[in-house]
Amino acid sequence: MLVIKNKMKFIRGILLIIIVLALAIWGLWLAISSLISIFSEDQDTNINTENENEPKQQTNSISNEATQVSSNVNVSNVNANIEVLQQWNLKLVNKDNSVNRDYVPELEEIDDGVMFDKRAISYLKDMINAMYKENITNVWVASAYRTYDRQEELFNNKVQYYKNEGNDQEEAEKLAQMLVQRPEMSEHNLGLAADFNKVDNDFEDTKAFAWLQKNAQDYGFILRYPKDKQDITGISYESWHWRYVGAEHAKVIKEKGFCLEEYIEYLKGTEEV
């Protein structure tokens, strides 16, 4: 019986040891698995955090830069255009934009008592000289600066002409203003407009007109009242009437097919191109 008891104790001891070892191994495996799982989750979290933060930082950076650039461009354009619109050579004069009667530019004679704005006369002379060099000599400035009194006289004469044709005062003034502006509403009061030759549309058939159509913008001049812009300018087509605006502006006006009214709106940002 003693031998059997000893065997039983021995077997129970072996089983207990096996169970303890099994539990120890299982516990160790659980601990290792937990550590692996925690480490993996930390790594994934860090990677995801970096991936999420990086695009946001980049997007925010790009957005801030774009906003700053856009803001700078818009502000600089607006400020630049305001300054440009205030330039003396871009002064818009028409039935809706008058000249103050006190305004008289400093003038210089271009030919036989015909006066032009002193700041622009050199460009007018250079343009005429360029035509002469190409043997276009039958060209002259018939009219340029006019006083307000002279402009009023011309306007009244034209009104009277239409009244003599049977029109009443109101209709005669409307017809007259299509050809001769009222005083303070004429570019001739600025001293920046030059009327060539006989001041009629026969000028359209001359070599001088063809040359001006091709080259006038290089000297800062534009055809002020084109054929297809009458509804905008309010003035009938005048092939003889050329206005100084400066070469930089004249080239854009020529390229885009604008009249001066359209160009002013373009600078303001209201004209779609």
Give the catalytic positions in this structure.
238
Taken in order 67, 72, 77, 78, is the CA torsion positive or negative? positive
> Residues 259, 225: contact at Cβ < 8 Å?
yes
Q: What is the CA radius of gyration of the chain?
A: 43
Residue that has been written with the tokens 């030059």 in this structure: 194
Collapsing DSSP to helix, strand or coil, 51 comes out as: helix
Q: What's the one-letter identity of residue 177? A: Q
**Cα 91 vs. chain centroid, distance in angstroms?**
18
**Could you tell me which of 43, 191, 89, 203 has the C-alpha nearest to residue 138?**
203
Report which of 174, 224, 175, 173 is spatially closest to residue 195, judged by C-alpha positions. Answer: 224
**215: amino acid identity, one letter:** N
Say how many CA atoms lie within 13 Å of 56 toward its Cβ: 6
User: Cα(259)–Cα(253) distance, rounded to whole angstroms?
Assistant: 7
Kind plus residue range of the DSSP H or E element containing 230: helix 230-233
Closest CA to 271 of 247, 244, 253: 253
Strand partners, 133: none
